[in-house]
Amino acid sequence: MLLSPSILSADFSALLDDIKKIEEGGADFIHVDVMDGHFVPNISFGAPVMKCLNGKTSLRYDVHLMIENPAKYIKDFVTDQTEYITVHQEACTDDLAEVLDLIKSYGIKAGVSIKPGTPTSVLEGFFNKVDLILIMSVEPGFGGQSFMEDQLYKAVELSALKREMGYDYVIEMDGGISLENIERVKEAGVEMAVAGSAVYRAEDVPERVRAFKKY
């Protein structure tokens, strides 16, 4: 399983050091949680914080935009190290196709995320247009929340649909993922896990990443 640790839980006074720790442990991506205080009730950071890491790490960015009007800010997050830019379906109910096309126009893989209360059926018509589907297993906005076990059914649905229809999106899950539930997450069909607190609160961060990477 791919691992994309969230720097929302990192020490921002020593951000590069914390990035090097997950890199040492074998993480696959840096998960960049962007919050605007409108779409979600919290503010995190913008593109300049992410861009300060350009060229200083070999890890690529897995950008998660929890913001309103994401089309206005897509270009800000485009760098040579950006692999994915993911927007929320709930923030793009009228223009999701256009936003996904905009992301791809920059040569970036396009993702879409859904909140816990949003069914996978809202993505019908987009399964063959997205490179990644991010299932939120907590309400987006704050780190350190408890994992919502009942969200695993979405991974099961998306995994079955992927096999039956030949879609090639990556199934990602974010929120409350830990070593206690990672096995169930993988068994449900999740291919990329986001972990923040469970990685950065460990005494030995590289070793914690290696523990996750065993799954």
Burial class (CB in 10 A: 0-12, 13-18, 19+), 143: middle
Active site residue 11: no
Supply the DSSP symbol for 6: B
Residue 201 to residue 215: CA distance in whole angstroms? 20
Q: Please give the angle made by the CA atoms of 37, 29 and 200, to the nearest 5 degrees.
A: 70
Neighbour tally for 127: CB within 10 Å: 17
The residue annotated as part of the active site, out of 28, 36, 131, 174, is 174
Cβ-Cβ contacts under 8 Å for 201 (sequence gap 6 or more): 9
Active site residue 174: yes
Token representation of residue 84: 């994915």
Cβ-Cβ contacts under 8 Å for 204 (sequence gap 6 or more): none
Report the candidate in 45, 53, 44, 46 with the shortest Cα–Cα distance to residue 19: 53
Residue that the structure tokens 């990685």 belong to: 199
The residue annotated as part of the active site, out of 33, 36, 62, 131, is 33
- Could you list the active site residues? 33, 174
